[in-house]
Amino acid sequence: MRKLQYLFMTLAVLCMASPAFAQSTGGSAPSWVPIGAGIGMGIASGLCGIGQGRVAGSAAEAIARNPGARAGIQLMLVLGLAFIESLALFTLLIVFAVVK
């Protein structure tokens, strides 16, 4: 728990220190939008993968408990996986819309 607290405190300090670099002495400032979009897409894809794994595991457990309800469980499994995958695709579309 203590390590997690130190991690979040360090991240907060690093995020608060970014205004110190706001004034540049010359040239154009680098654009952080593509880097942020890439990190956001990575987080969205990772969480969608975790969600799909949990859905598939729960469906397998439900079929093991009640094999007679296989058709309904399989229908809900495919529907749930389609919704989860659509979230990742929507994130990809937003990334392409923001980063040109």
The closest alpha carbon to 91, from 52, 38, 55, belongs to 38
Write down the pLDDT at residue 2.
83
pLDDT one-digit tens code per residue, 77-91: 999 999 999 999 999
pLDDT in tens, 3-47: 888 887 887 777 766 665 666 555 565 688 888 888 989 999 999
Cβ–Cβ under 8 Å, residues 59 and 74: yes
Q: What span, in angstroms and rounded, lies between the C-alpha atoms of 80 and 89?
A: 14
**Which residues, other chains included, contact 51 with Cβ-Cβ below 8 Å and sequence gap of 6+?**
84
Whole-model pTM: value is 0.64
